[in-house]
Amino acid sequence: MKINAVWFEGDCVKCAMCIEEASGAFDFVVEAGPQVKPDIDITSFTEEIKRAAGLCPTQCIKYNQ
Amino acid sequence: MLIVYTISDSNNGLTLQGKAIVKTEYGTGIISNFLKEEYQSMNSAMANAYMKTFPMEAEKKVSAGKRNPVLDIPEFNNTWNIYRETSLDIMKRYEYMAQCVDFTDKDTEAIRESKDILAPHLEAILDHIYWEKLINDPWLSKWFRDETGKISKEYVTIRRARQRRFILKILECKWDEEFWNFVRWVGAVHVPIFGFEDLYIPVRLNLALWGYIHQYLFNFLAEQLKDDPEKLRRITSAWTKLFWLIIDVYHIDYFAPWM
């Protein structure tokens, strides 16, 4: 099932692994940490986002599908 | 010792050449005309130190016209090709090392088999390695402390997560170029080569940690598989071989190619 929304929630430790796993969907902003890239088709990054969410040490990545 | 000089003065477009037979601790002779001052300048404490460090420089040079025939011998030629190819191509390196340690498809299957045993306990294994072993070791813990010397829980969490990803990648059992480049990258960021130029983790600490994880996993597997010694042998044998393959690639960027 495709993801139609993704966001960050909770205490991100800024390990940046999510950016490594889903560089098409996420960007790393100094100070703020990882952000969802604007104006992208989230559904096309479903697998990468799920993998990043599975690896996130603080389970900060939330999504709807 | 016969010294042949060629001195260029690019400002004046002048090139001076000459020969000098000199007296040093390596030989006796005379030094002639305009090159004397230059020679005396060269014959400094630094030059002496250089000659002591590289005494072969004081020996008579043999003509370079004599070629090294070692590559005419097929066995040595083949060896050179293996060295060259395994240095250039990470997959060839893996393939060569795999056949050396006898890492086969059966071993891959055994590691895949171990996923069912390890995956359910992965969090506990990682907790032990990071929250019990690493942060309590007097030297290993250095890299997990903040500027006041206290353990940085946030940083330990990050490192633990990265180790978790590494183990999950291993359990995927895809020994392709992407995997081996990932292993190489993990090793490379522990030395001041690329990305973290101010970081250096000594090799002995890598070996200490890999060694610790190795024995910890084996004891864990032995406990889990105490009723199935053949499965235990199969899985621990496969993991042993894989550990050596990983340790090789992990340390590629720790050493110069000739090492």
The answer to whether residue B165 neighbours chain A at the CB level (below 8 Å) is yes
Strand residues in chain A grouped as ranges (E): 5-8, 26-29, 33-36, 61-64
Strand residues in chain B grouped as ranges (E): 2-9, 14-21
Chain B environment of A47 (Cβ under 8 Å): none
Q: What is the pLDDT, as a whole number, of residue A27?
A: 95
Q: Which pLDDT tens digit goes with each residue over B239-253?
A: 999 999 999 999 999
Strand partners, A6: A63
The answer to whether residue B58 neighbours chain A at the CB level (below 8 Å) is no
Partner-chain contact A13 B165, CB within 8 Å: no
**The dihedral sign for the CA sequence B119, B125, B126, B127:** positive
Residues in chain A: 65
Q: What is the pLDDT, as a whole number, of residue A30?
A: 86
Q: What is the pLDDT, as a whole number, of residue B208?
A: 95
Q: How far is CA A28 from CA A22, A41, B141, B189, in A?
A: 11, 18, 28, 19
Q: What is the pLDDT, as a whole number, of residue B27?
A: 53
Distance CA B205, CA B200 (A): 11
Interface probe with B: pick from A14, A15, A21, most Cβ of B within 10 Å: A15
Distance CA B98, CA B244 (A): 9
Q: To which residue do tokens 């294994």 refer? A: B125
The answer to whether residue B28 neighbours chain A at the CB level (below 8 Å) is no
**Contact assessment for residue B21 and residue B5, using Cβ atoms and an 8 Å cutoff:** no
Residue type, A49: I
Q: What is the pLDDT, as a whole number, of residue B24?
A: 55
Q: What is the pLDDT, as a whole number, of residue B25?
A: 55
Chain A environment of B146 (Cβ under 8 Å): none
Q: What fold is seen in the domain A5-64?
A: Alpha-Beta Plaits (3.30.70)
Q: pTM higher than 0.80, yes or no?
A: no
The answer to whether residue A12 neighbours chain B at the CB level (below 8 Å) is no
Chain A nearest-CA residue for B167: A55
Structure tokens at B32: 């002639």
CATH superfamily ID and name for B103-254: Globins (1.10.490.10)
The answer to whether residue A17 neighbours chain B at the CB level (below 8 Å) is yes
Structure tokens at B22: 């000199």
Q: What is the pLDDT, as a whole number, of residue A34?
A: 93
Domain ranges, ordered by start, for chain A: 5-64
CA B90 to chain centre: 14
**Contact assessment for residue B173 and residue B103, using Cβ atoms and an 8 Å cutoff:** no
The answer to whether residue B162 neighbours chain A at the CB level (below 8 Å) is yes
Could you read off the pLDDT tens digit of each residue along chain B, which spans 259 residues? Answer: 555 555 554 444 444 455 555 555 555 555 555 455 555 555 677 777 777 778 877 787 777 777 788 889 999 999 999 999 999 999 999 999 999 999 999 999 999 999 999 999 999 999 999 999 999 999 999 999 999 999 999 999 999 999 999 999 999 999 999 999 999 999 999 998 887 888 899 999 999 999 999 999 999 999 999 999 999 999 999 999 999 999 999 999 998 766 6
Interface probe with B: pick from A13, A21, A51, most Cβ of B within 10 Å: A13
Domain ranges, ordered by start, for chain B: 2-58, 103-254
The answer to whether residue B154 neighbours chain A at the CB level (below 8 Å) is yes
Structure tokens at B211: 């060694």
Q: Which pLDDT tens digit goes with each residue over A13-46?
A: 989 999 999 999 999 998 889 999 998 999 999 9
Partner-chain contact A55 B168, CB within 8 Å: yes
Chain B nearest-CA residue for A54: B165
**Contact assessment for residue A55 and residue B164, using Cβ atoms and an 8 Å cutoff:** yes
Chain B environment of A17 (Cβ under 8 Å): 161-162, 165
